[in-house]
Structure 1
Amino acid sequence: MGLIDFLQANWTAVMAAPWVFVTLAVLFGGGGWAIGRFMYGERIETLKGRIEAGDEKIAAFEAERSKPKPVEADKPPQTLSTHDVSDAVLGPPAMRRRVASAIKDPEALRDRLTRQRWTFYFSPAGNNGSKSLSFRPDGSIGEGRNENEHNWVFEGDRLAIYRRNGDLQNVFRYSDSGRFEYVFDVRAVGFKHQYLVPA
């Protein structure tokens, strides 16, 4: 039964108390809007994050493709020294020293992560939304667990948070300030610049 049919069938009652009808219509309409905004707000933020991540991947690909490729004569393949490999994998020496000072003992850092609650700022560039997170020793998220923040693991010195479907949500590195800072990873589909601080 459509709205017009309803009004035709109940026109006498509506005209007898028009303000009651208008008030109920506003209450139901406003309530429906508020519920929809609450239920789909985080999903919309997630989709925005995917779009941002996709744009970033496209920009990185185009920048790489636009680089001129030098034509070289026959040249023996280059071999990387141990120093070169360390720089390629771990970053420059200054960065390695900073990481080493922040993470002196990976097991101690893992223990700290699982023993306390954290405040997770998941939309710093938007509404600065935040929620509490706890990390269970078995690699699952405790408090605050949802489709986006479902499991966690340390990949080297980086904390990786995964979605329920197996996608990488985001990557973080522990800093000297005592919080986990966002680290860019081309695989990640979550918002950029997220971070975690002790609760």
Structure 2
Amino acid sequence: MRDTEAAILAALRSNRYRFVYNPLTNKSKLVRFRENGEIGEGRNGNEYSWRISNSRLEIINDKNQVYSRFFLLPDKVTLHHTNDPDLPSLKGQYFEPTNG
């Protein structure tokens, strides 16, 4: 678990991401994760801050609720939605690293 959490943290620190928030329409935005747990670029009421819990990246909304949850793929940089039923976000979302 510690290795996975360290890998998630390393990925977030070193990448700018294209966040596909609506996979049905391919709607996306650019996102950067700040060291302090805030979302920088791409921040809104749904994607407000972040934390790592139980080897998952959790995206927290502006009401301090878990809005979405992601697991790290074997490539160590791409993150996919867990599709857990308790989450209000769209299923199938993902973060992929982008250049720039």
- Which category describes the TM-score, using the shorter chain as reference length? 0.7 to 0.9
Which residue does the alignment assign to 1:138? 36
Q: Which runs of 4+ in 1 moved over 4 A?
A: none
Larger strand percent = 2
Return 5+ residue gaps in structure 2 as ranges: none
CA RMSD, Structure 1 to Structure 2 (Å): 1.8
Provide the secondary structure at the position in 2 that maps to 1:114: helix
Structure with greater contact order relative to length (CA < 8 Å, sep ≥ 6): 2
1:180 corresponds in structure 2 to 79
Percent identity of paired positions between Structure 1 and Structure 2: 30
Aligned length: 97
Any stretches of 5+ residues in structure 1 without a counterpart? 1-99
**Which amino acid is 1:182 matched to?**
H
Aligned to 1:110: 9
Deviation at 1:108, TM superposition (A): 4.0
Instruction: Please give the alpha-carbon distance, in whole angstroms, between the structure 1 residues aligned to 2:10 and 2:74.
Output: 17
Query: Which residue does the alignment assign to 1:147?
Result: 45
Q: TM-score, normalised by structure 1?
A: 0.45
Alignment TM-score, normalising by the size of structure 2: 0.86
Matched, 1:191 2:90: yes
Match of 1:159 among 57, 72, 76: 57
Output aligned runs, 1:65-144, within 5 Å: 104=3, 106-125=5-24, 127-144=25-42
Q: What amino acid is aligned across from residue 90 of structure 2 in structure 1? A: F
